[in-house]
A and B are shown apart, each in its own frame.
Chain A
């Protein structure tokens, strides 16, 4: 079914926002590790693996608009979201610390930043993946109708 110009513009805008979120998340995580020299913990790496390719994939899907990206990006976003939720559960001690896989090296529950008393790197990642997940879910619903 060919999309009308109006709805394709709408989809394009939302994918553009997705690309912005992914790019800000990627640059932000690089800022933390390369400029502020916070060593990334293993969970952070797993989430990076899911986030970084999205920067390229969303960009490619914008020119020309390719809605197949929703399928491919959803897979990466779901995996990233899974790790983000897991890490936040560890951080808020809902899951026991002993169950965490990163006993060696950097602790996944360390507080590198704590803005306004509650914004941590772990939370920032969760917010980014949740936003992407929500937007992609919305697009999927929209395209089906």
Chain B
């Protein structure tokens, strides 16, 4: 009986420590984010970051994304839908979190597309054919070149623009900011600097609604 009590109490203590630890971690994590948001808002929005929607909107969604990430692709139309429900009230700021092997390269392409004013067109083509160039069995980013003209891209110009050093600076800055904000999965959303408590479509919509 004594032994049973010992084991049961040890188990309870460990589980209690786990739960208390989770709450403590989340509490300090949120506190730290609020601190970053108030002290250094530029971590969330950099001048180079592409913005969708009304630039003067008060509510802003930050999305850290990876062009090779399937969930990011699925969220893209969803986020657009949320914005359409509240026209002119929300802006979306895109940040990069290139976690996949070749993602850095794809992000370079995207940034280079800015020089042709075809950023969002290119992004949509990249997402549209994601299952082909980023397939799990045989990822082959070379395939992407043949799809890019669909966005109206001049491929030769894009290739030379990709080498511009300022693009590297932008991507490295985003990776740096992502680390500071603890971005470990994509897509990662922040609405007015607040992170999602739980990941999901519904949760994101609720957070946006509460910030409007």
Contacts and interface: CB of A to CB of B under 8 A. Distances in A.
Interface of A: 12, 16, 19-20, 23-24, 27, 30-31, 35-39, 59, 62-63, 103-104
A23 B11 contact: yes
Interface of B: 3-4, 6-7, 10-11, 14-15, 17-18, 21-22, 25-26, 101, 182, 184-185
B3 A62 contact: yes
B4 A36 contact: no
Given A23-B14, A62-B7, 15 more contacts: A16-B3, A16-B6, A20-B10, A23-B10, A27-B17, A30-B18, A31-B18, A35-B21, A35-B25, A35-B26, A37-B185, A38-B184, A39-B184, A62-B3, A63-B4
Which among A31, A37, A39, A103 has the highest number of chain B CB atoms within 10 Å? A37
B45 to A, nearest CB: 23
A37 B198 CA distance: 12
Contact of B22 (A20, A31, A63): A31
B107 to A, nearest CB: 18
B22 A35 contact: yes
Which among B18, B26, B185 has the highest number of chain A CB atoms within 10 Å? B18
Contact of A27 (B4, B18, B26): B18
B21 to A, nearest CB: 6
Nearest to A23: B14
Contacts of A63: 3-4, 7
A63 B4 CA distance: 8
A36 B25 CA distance: 8
Contacts of A27: 14-15, 17-18
A104 B101 contact: yes
A22 to B, nearest CB: 11
20 contacts: A12-B3, A16-B3, A16-B7, A16-B10, A23-B10, A23-B11, A23-B14, A27-B14, A27-B15, A27-B17, A27-B18, A31-B18, A31-B22, A35-B21, A37-B184, A37-B185, A38-B184, A39-B184, A59-B7, A63-B3
